[in-house]
Amino acid sequence: MVGGGQLARMTHEAGIPLGIRFKLLSDTRQDSAAQVVSDVVVGDYRDLETLRAFAQGCDVVTFDHEHVPAEHLRALEADGVVIRPGVEALLHAQDKGVMRDRLTSLDVPCPRHRIVADPADVERFAAEGLGGAAGENTGFPVVLKTVRGGYDGKGVWVVRDAEEAAEPFRAGVPVLAEEKVDFARELAANVVRSPHGQAVAYPVVESIQVDGVCDTVIAPAPGLSEELSGQAQEMALKIAAELGVVGHLAVELFETRDGRLLVNELAMRPHNSGHWTQDGAVTSQFANHVRAVLDLPLGDPRPRATWTVMTNVLGGDFPEMYPAYLHCMARDPALKIHMYGKDVKPGRKVGHVNTYGDDLDDVRERGRHAADYLRGTITE
């Protein structure tokens, strides 16, 4: 696996019961996964020769992020290395402009969008949304995104006029403009697809963001109709098949106030919106990703409980979280804590907790209390 973050750490964990020999390309020995994997290569994933040396002896190479240059991955494929989810598929998670254009060609509903050249072009895009003339600001606010490299709210701006639109262009990379969708909530449809075409779909979840970072995931999404749930799963399965994805695919969605679904983002790896599956599904996203990339039969994605809630633990002002275990575990013996071995920094994802049960309010409160206590936001 290329990338030493928490996704690699938890994927490695899922492969242990299957006797999978796991090799890791990590930036440092201190990275989350590098702390627990025995076979670690420290190197730069942006260097082709490092990638070539790392791939030697691997049956398959997969990823915990989308940032490996596509030209390097094509070179590895030319060398005979098996890349999954596949280079051409992964491009749609690397480049938001490519993703938007391809999904639109497949009649998958997306926000109105186009690549923009400068702040004046953003102003024209805004005006076009309401049929106005260039120079009118009636179509603002507009969402601007760098086409590559953004995550957790980074590389994303909501701008109210052309003056505010100047900042994204300073990075010197292409910028995608999108309409600001009036959505009721954010959802995620997680599916896994194998090379021989077998696919499974997890229950559609609600994802609650705070300051651009995922805070809470509720499985299944409360109050979501069977019709919309089925639409979301079918949409995700269609995208996986049409793009040739192998492994886990997360499709982040907007549920609009008028009852439609629009695709927001794609991720072709295990995803934060699927962390609940570690304790809440028969087969976790990590286990199914391992099975898929090795072309093994996929596992059952059905939920184990009526409700499962994943609550992210973000770093706060208390760098040592482990003393809080005593309180959290004693208060809630059913609580599942997953920490990533990261240094605590304010706002950084350092772990998550999973809670489950039949009463959604109770399940959410238990998760919120544990996450806040681990962070030090509350002390009782």
- Each residue's pLDDT tens digit, 42-82: 999 999 999 999 999 999 999 999 999 999 999 999 999 99
- Percent of the chain past pLDDT 90, that is, above it, reads 86
* HSE-up (13 A, CA, CB side) for residue 372: 10
Q: Does domain 112-179 have CATH number 3.40.50.1370?
A: no
Mean pLDDT of 134-152: 73
Between CA 11 and CA 3 the distance in angstroms is: 11
Work out the pLDDT band at 130, boundaries 50, 70, 90.
low
**β-pair partners for 116:** 175
Half-sphere exposure of 287 (CA within 13 A, CB side): 21
Mean pLDDT of the chain: 94
Record the tokens describing residue 197, joined without a space: 């075409």
CA distances from 76 to 41, 47, 54, 346 (A): 17, 12, 11, 38
Q: Can you tell me the mean pLDDT for 359-367?
A: 98
d(CA 226, CA 243): 26
Q: Is the dihedral of CA 164, 170, 175, 181 positive or negative?
A: negative
Question: Can you tell me the mean pLDDT for 287-305?
Answer: 98
pLDDT confidence of residue 287 = 98
Kindly report, residue by residue over 215-243, the tens digit of the pLDDT. Answer: 999 999 999 999 999 999 999 999 999 99
Residue 133 has pLDDT above 70, yes or no: no
Binding residues: 96, 145, 178-181, 186, 264-265
> pLDDT value at position 172?
81
CATH code of the domain occupying 6-83: 3.40.50.20
One of 3.40.50.2000, 3.40.190.10, 1.10.1040.10, 3.30.470.20 is the CATH number of 183-375, namely 3.30.470.20
pLDDT tens digits for range 240-271: 999 999 999 999 999 999 999 999 999 999 99
| CA nearest to 3, candidates 48, 47, 34 | 34
pLDDT at residue 212, as a whole number:
84
Binding annotation for ATP: 96, 145, 178-181, 186, 264-265
**In sequence order, what DSSP letters do the residues of 352-380 get, joined into one string?**
EEEEEES-HHHHHHHHHHHHHHHHTS---
Reading the block at residue 353, the tokens are 């907790």
**Could you state, in order of their start, the residue ranges of all structural domains in the chain?**
6-83, 112-179, 183-375
